Structure 1
Amino acid sequence: MQKTIGFIGAGNMGQAIMGGILKSKLVSAVDIIMSDLSEERLELAKECGIKVTKDNKEVAKLSDILVLSIKPNIYSLVIKEIKDYIKNDVIIITIAAGKDICSTEESFGRKVKVVRAMPNTPALVGEGMTAIVPNEKLTTDEVDEVVKIFNSFGKVEIVSEKLMDAVTSVSGSSPAYVFMFIEAMADAAVLDGMPRDQAYRMAAQAVLGAAKMVLETGKHPGALKDMVCSPAGTTIEAVATLERTGFRSSIISAMQSCTKKSIEMSKK
């Protein structure tokens, strides 16, 4: 990919994307430029060979693909600052919740190439799940280039924009639910006498392995569950308790609340 990729903002997600790009050798470090207010972040990036600056306009001028990895509340301010400096054919990637393609185009004051993306925090360990929505101005080759960027630190799915609120609940926010699940399993193991560090490792690896089985076997999660449940055994006893205490309905209700909140944020 012979492109200059720019980042305005270098928080956790911006760093994860840059790390994935460098690790996959999609482009070299000298083809990445970033701006940030943090001297520490700029220095760390500079040590990796990335071009750094505090001038957002400089990043805008040089970027073929520009990632806005900033907080939603300052999107309009940053776009107002850079909109007259971007290249005509630049691809703008947004990663903020509640910022739809239409609002981004309106902020720039014209039709620009926009990709709305929703990555999640496991991107920090190379296991991200990202949904993207490209607008109609991108070519097939340009969409492929964006997919390669997000594939460099996990997996990516192209979805319709109407599904982005559901994406927020099923992958964007869901690591938090899984962390709570792991913590609860570890607490139970500690209650049974296991050291906490060991309990966290065992619970986390069990979740990791189970998720990998879903992805790699292609089998229905229910079928994989049935494989573990021996007649009159320990697992089906635990499953029965989960059903009795509303495990499924609790997860579904939580995700519906998350989706509802995402919709409300989009309307602001």
Structure 2
Amino acid sequence: MDQQSKVAVIGAGVMGEALIAALISSGVKPDHITISEKREDRAQELISKYSIKAAALNANISDADALLLVVKPQDMASVLEEIKGSINPKAVGITFAAGKTISFISNRLGTSNPVVRVMPNTPTLVGEGMAAASMGAGVTAEQREFVLGFLGATGKVIEVKEELQDAVTATSGSGPAYFFAFVEAMVAGAKELGLSEQDATTLTIQTIVGAAKLLDESGKSATTLRENVTSPNGTTAAALASFENEKMKSIVAKAMKAARDRSQELA
């Protein structure tokens, strides 16, 4: 596959749009990208914004070299049923639906098309995404390079065995929500200490953003950075001791296992 490849994007929600932007950033020409989206106003919005095309579902996939399935897990079966008779036999199918396995996609397509399973996350929308891809049987070196290439334009991408995708979902897929929940809790805590909502929000967000940048750019581990900011018997030590007393590590591990288990149930 190359920059001349035709790409069909099924589902043009916020993640679909982020992937369209990534495709263009990676070198795919906008007029080689065609979306299928039931909401006409949404389709026109993306056509105007990115100079891409729109087409009915079956017409879209009949000559596409790559098919991006960006639909909800509960909608995947019906979409596959609709397209299985029209898909280009040379196309690679790329699924972004949580919990849906490569075999689920292949069995419902009933074709020999190779399938790639991807778990992205919402920071993809701002070019700081984390994606994990698993290659199914028959994926060519060119198709693999294409998938990893455009996903790299959304942030970072790794390749994992498919049996680890549920763990990926619990880590990076659902992970942004854990972060947002922690921010909510910090803002609420700051307000209880007397700060205004505006000041509590500013202090919390900038602290989190700064800490994340320090972790990303310093080359030091989270453990080292935590130790560096923690003086014996100081304020940070008191807060961390409270976390430990509440078994924060156990709480997080239990939550991630719940996310992993739910991902398995969605298969």
Partner amino acid for 1:8? I
TM-score between the two structures when normalised by the length of structure 2: 0.93
2:221 is the counterpart of 1:220: yes
Q: Within 2, Cα distance between the matches of 1:2 and 1:197?
A: 49
Moved more, 85-94 or 176-185: 85-94
For the residues of structure 1 that align with 2:236 and 2:27, how far apart are their CA atoms?
45
Q: Within 5 A, what are the aligned runs for 1:16-165?
A: 16-22=18-24, 24=25, 26-48=27-49, 49-53=51-55, 55-165=56-166
Q: Which runs of 5+ in 1 are unaligned?
A: none
C-alpha distance in 2 between matches for 1:19 and 1:183: 30
Distance across 2 between alignment mates of 1:88 and 1:201: 52
Contact residue 95 and residue 118 of structure 1 kept, 8 A: yes
Residue pair 2:106, 2:113 contacting (<8 A) in 1 also:
yes
Residues of 2 paired with 1:198 and 1:159: CA distance? 41
- Residue 240 of structure 1 deviates from its aligned partner by 0.8
For normalisation by structure 1, the TM-score amounts to: 0.93
Number of residue-to-residue matches in the alignment = 264
1:25 deviation in Å?
5.0
Q: CA deviation at 1:206?
A: 2.2
Contact 2:89-2:112 within 8 A present in 1 as well: no
The list of structure 1 runs, each at least 4 consecutive aligned residues, that deviate by more than 4 angstroms after superposition, is none
Q: What is residue 169 of structure 1 aligned with on the other side?
A: 170
Secondary structure of 1:67's counterpart equals strand
CA distance in 2, matches of 1:200, 1:137: 49
Match of residue 4 from structure 2: 2
Contact 1:45–1:52, Cα closer than 8 Å, also in 2: no
3-state SS in 2 of match to 1:89: coil
Partner of 1:262: 263
Contact 2:116 2:136 in 1 (8 A): yes
Correspondence for 1:252: 253
Cα distance in 1, alignment partners of residues 90 and 214 from structure 2: 42
Quote the residue 2:230 is aligned against. 229
Inter-partner Cα distance in structure 2 for 1:62 and 1:147? 22
Aligned residue number for residue 15 of structure 1? 17
- Note the alpha carbon deviations across 1:161-190, whole angstroms, 9 max, x for none: 110111111111111111110011111222
Rate the CA distance shift 1:21–1:196 in 2: closer, same or farther, 3 A: farther
RMSD of Structure 2 on Structure 1 (CA):
1.5
Give the C-alpha shift of residue 8 in structure 1. 1.0
